[in-house]
Amino acid sequence: MNTFMKKFLLLCTLIISLLFSCSFTFNTKSTSYKKIDKIKVVMDDNYPPYVFKDSSGNLQGIIIDQWKLFENRTGIKVEIYATNWDKAQIFMERGTFDVIDTIFFNEKRAKMYNFSKPYAKIEVPIFFNKNISGINSVETLKSFAVAVKKGDYSVNFLKEKGITDFHEYDSYKSMIIAAKNKEAIVFVMDKPPALYYMYKMKIENNFKYSDSLYTGEFHRAVRKGNPELLKVIEDGFSLISNREYKEIDRKWIGTSPINPEFIYYMIIMLIAIISITLLLIFWNRMLNKNVKEKTSELTKLIKELSTSENRIRALFKALPDMVFVINLDGIFLDYHSENTQDLYVHSNKFIGKSISDIFPDELSDRFIQCITVLFETGKTQVEEYSLDIHGELHHFEARLVQCDADSVMGIVRDITERKKSEAHIYKMSMHDNLTGLNNRNYFENELKRYQNSTGNLYGFAMVICDLDGLKLVNDTLGHSVGDEYLCTVANILRSCFRKHDVIARIGGDEFGILMNNTSQEEIEKIKININKNIEHVNHTNKLVPFSISFGYEMYKEKYKDLGKMFKEADNYMYREKLHHHQSTKSEIVQVLMKMLEARDFITEGHGERLQKLATKLAKSVGMSANEIKDISLLGQFHDIGKVGISDAILFKPGKLNEEEASEMKKHTEIGYRIAQSSPDLMHISDWIFKHHEWWNGQGYPLGLKGEDIPIQCRILSIVDAYDAIINDRPYRKALKKETAIAEIKQCASIQFDPMLVDKFIDILNKDL
């Protein structure tokens, strides 16, 4: 009885424990989610099948469905914004969004974000044109311009491996479009979207891919210092069952329509059926052997001959090649071609005639020699040749194989397109697409040729030129303007150097020239001519002036290695570059300031008014004379970054949309970079960067709060806002001073330092 009671009590305890645990297991919504109403998520918009847009522009894919289930399970509103990956990362770094999805983990990002557990493994191979061979690792990419997506992890990976020549695209889709148009022949991207777009654009047979360079993992990440949000996200996704995850994957990736085990048993069954059938046929034939043996053999032979003939006929029709039968004497006996337009001459003009009667002497001799070698060795002979057909040069490949004891079959394929592709690929590998000059590969090949030359290199010279200030132009006016400058320099170099000189773009802003049979005097004349051309271009065409640093070295017998000669020319160039480095940057900054004054009417008198108001407010808080000079300088130059913002945004009469506002906010970063480039403005660059921060931490670009914001920026923000209110703006007319004061008061402790607001209003009241 005691034993029975013990077992009964143990069973009851287990049942109660299970019921208790179930009460927690089936609680699909946690009370912790009540603390969060909404999550803003940013991700890549071009990563099928995980996330992409349909023909109507709506987001779809695996990740979109997973977030919908998250929203359903947690009750948290999820706002998803998908854009190109480079922008997505910028938005997340600025704090525009709470969560970033489709992100790979690396050490750099780990300093900024807390990452969730990985939820998808992504293979990343090298994709390359099928006509290219030998690409199987990162090292084999060094002679190619590699297409990559802006902001992608693969860019950092390749740079770490020494690959620096990139063509960057905004999205994976634009990369595949470039590949289809033969603009990109080698690219590195994640395997799922690559295969998706190649199949969609029907170019999957035009490209091969290597083994994976690395395997990435998708994570979701939040900014550092927000573990509570990360826990909410991971807990929320844990509420989705494995079955639901598999249903989403099946929806977008699909499954095999036939069970492999079923196929296995079907094959076994088919083999069994075939075996039984063959045994029955054999048994039947054995019974009728004496009567039907001869008839069966004859029927079988006829059938085999007919089948063989049909196969050969089908094969010839399917082949794009031309096929000729030629005897030992080179006489054409027969031919086959689906397209008679491919023939060099019409069939009635070459059947029964000799090769020498049809083709030029040099080509016919080559064919006769191939036929002779074929019969002597029995090995297939391959010969490439070119012919003018209907006024157009065509390239062909002929394969000669022995048919029988006295005839040869020639299989001829038109390889014109292949030759064009090879020429195009070679040109791309040896020429710079932007400037049309030779590239570094070509330059180094020529340098090796001179190095290996057995002749006298007396009179050989090497010139190195570098475009000054290109980075500043790119950062402020944009890379398209920087490209125009590079093309201008290329044209000047073409016009000033001799036609037979080797001119190449060997770096981002660096050019190399190899000269033979020249002198130091001739090079100095060329340098003078280049400077005259630059002066003329700056005077007539370029708003922002530019210059070139110029260095050269003449060949001397001590240069057994021309690499040392290159280094001397490069050092010469850098000495000249250092000579006018700062003067060039200061001149550019002054020109940019004039550009801002010329194109933005809101700066007319704006800087002077800010200087006066900021000086008064600075004095009221006890700043020194030097500090007041600096804040006056800030008032003049704080908006210099607007030179990099388009007129459409600067002069828009209405309110800016979200994208335009985001673009406008970039002027603080642009201004910071410009100020960093000028010795006169470098010390106020940090203030230029932070002059749109708010007292309550809701400003940009860093979201600084309270006294973490430099006092110079807090002063400028008040006087800048006041001046903007009492003067005309593109989107409204000027308001009264009383209205401006009321607006400033209302924004105290929100946008402005309340202490400085009080002092500023006292100053205004005294002036009134």
Per-residue DSSP letters for 222-235?
EETT-HHHHHHHHH
Pairwise CA distance, residues 167 & 184, whole Å? 8
Higher-scoring residue by pLDDT: 225, 309: 225
Q: What are phi and psi of 581, to 5 degrees?
A: -60, -55
Find the distance separating the first CA and the last CA of the chain, reported in whole Å: 103
Element (DSSP H or E) covering residue 393: strand 392-404
Q: If DSSP states are collapsed to H, E and C, what string results for 455-477?
A: CCCCCCEEEEEEECCHHHHHHHH
Whether 100 has a pLDDT exceeding 90, the answer reads yes
Pairwise CA distance, residues 673 & 682, whole Å? 9
| Cα torsion 183, 187, 190, 196: sign | positive
| Cα torsion 701, 704, 705, 711: sign | negative
Whether 24 has a pLDDT exceeding 70, the answer reads no
Q: What is the pLDDT of residues 314-346, one digit of tens each?
A: 665 666 677 778 887 788 877 766 665 566 666
87 contacts: CB under 8 Å, gap ≥ 6? 151
| Of the listed ranges 160-164, 184-188, 454-458, the one predicted with least confidence | 454-458
Element (DSSP H or E) covering residue 148: strand 146-149
| pLDDT average, residue stretch 554-581 | 85
Per-residue pLDDT, 386: 82
Share of the chain above pLDDT 70, in %: 85
- What letter represents residue 125's amino acid? P
Whether 673 has a pLDDT exceeding 80, the answer reads yes
Q: What is the DSSP string of 488-555?
A: HHHHHHHHHS-TTSEEEE-SSSEEEEEESS--HHHHHHHHHHHHHHHHHHHHHT-SS---EEEEEEE-
Pairwise CA distance, residues 696 & 698, whole Å? 6
Q: Which of 662, 755, 763 is nearest to 711 (CA)?
A: 755
Bridge partner residues of 87 (DSSP): none
Per-residue pLDDT, 20: 44
Per-residue pLDDT, 259: 53
Bridge partner residues of 169 (DSSP): 149
- What letter represents residue 619's amino acid? K
Pairwise CA distance, residues 675 & 630, whole Å? 13
Element (DSSP H or E) covering residue 420: helix 416-430
Pairwise CA distance, residues 628 & 764, whole Å? 19
Q: How confident is the model at residue 686 (pLDDT cuts 50, 70, 90)?
A: very high
Per-residue pLDDT, 142: 82
Whether 132 has a pLDDT exceeding 50, the answer reads yes
Q: What is the pLDDT of residues 179-197, one digit of tens each?
A: 999 889 899 999 888 888 8
Q: Tell me 711's DSSP state.
A: H
Strand, helix or coil for residue 189:
coil
| Of the listed ranges 16-30, 86-100, 132-146, 326-340, the one predicted with least confidence | 16-30
Q: Which of 540, 537, 547 is nearest to 587 (CA)?
A: 547
Pairwise CA distance, residues 109 & 214, whole Å? 17
Q: Tell me 643's DSSP state.
A: G
Q: How confident is the model at residue 307 (pLDDT cuts 50, 70, 90)?
A: confident
Q: What is the pLDDT of residues 428-452, one digit of tens each?
A: 777 899 999 999 999 999 999 988 8
Pairwise CA distance, residues 669 & 723, whole Å? 23
**Number of C-alpha atoms within 13 angstroms, CB side, residue 300?**
7
Share of the chain above pLDDT 90, in %: 33
Q: How confident is the model at residue 405 (pLDDT cuts 50, 70, 90)?
A: confident
Per-residue pLDDT, 285: 80
Q: Give this prediction's pTM.
A: 0.45
Per-residue pLDDT, 584: 57
Q: Which of 410, 350, 335, 337 is nearest to 374 (CA)?
A: 410
| pLDDT average, residue stretch 467-485 | 82
Per-residue pLDDT, 28: 45
Per-residue pLDDT, 82: 93
Neighbours of 732 (CB within 10 A): 11
Q: What is the pLDDT of residues 579-616, one digit of tens each?
A: 665 555 556 666 666 666 655 544 557 778 888 888 99
Mean pLDDT, the chain, rounded, equals 83
**pLDDT winner (highest mean) among 15-19, 416-420, 489-493:** 489-493
